[in-house]
């Protein structure tokens, strides 16, 4: 599975899990650690954990083991690292506070 296929798979899984406000950010020109950051929101800590758990489970079923999963205990922000794509599943208030999209924006005018 190449990078584009992985990103499409991730977005499909996030949509199936009813993740909200899914945003794919191309960061290839900004960092060598990954090709894309994918940010989405869950409606509660239970929903955030469920989204991340389902994503990891479906990826494993396809033989794509994530490199790591962080934040499952608190479930305000769960990060799933697939190397070519890093997924941030966040509660809306945490997403607003950290503004990951703004951090990784390709807009250099600011």
Give tens-digit pLDDT for 55-96: 999 999 999 999 999 998 888 999 999 999 999 999 999 999
Phi, psi torsion values for 10, nearest 5 degrees: -60, -50
Report field, pTM of the whole predicted structure over 0.75: yes
Beta strand 77-81 with 85-91 is antiparallel
Mean pLDDT, rounded, of the chain: 93
Residues with Cβ within 8 Å of 110's Cβ and at least 6 positions away in sequence, in order, are: none
Q: Give residue 109's pLDDT.
A: 46
Q: Which domains does the chain have, with CATH numbers?
A: 3-104 (3.30.460.10)
For 57, the 3-state DSSP assignment is: helix
């Amino acid at each position: 599975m190449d990078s584009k296929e992985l990103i499409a798979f991730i977005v499909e899984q996030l949509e199936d899990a009813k993740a909200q406000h899914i945003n794919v950010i191309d960061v290839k020109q900004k960092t060598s650690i990954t090709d894309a950051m994918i940010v989405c929101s869950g409606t509660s800590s239970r929903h955030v954990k469920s989204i991340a758990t389902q994503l990891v489970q479906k990826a494993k079923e396809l033989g794509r083991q994530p490199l790591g999963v962080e934040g499952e205990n608190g479930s305000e922000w769960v990060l799933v690292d697939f190397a070519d794509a890093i997924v941030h599943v966040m509660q809306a208030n945490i997403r607003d506070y950290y503004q990951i999209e703004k951090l990784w924006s390709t807009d250099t005018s600011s």
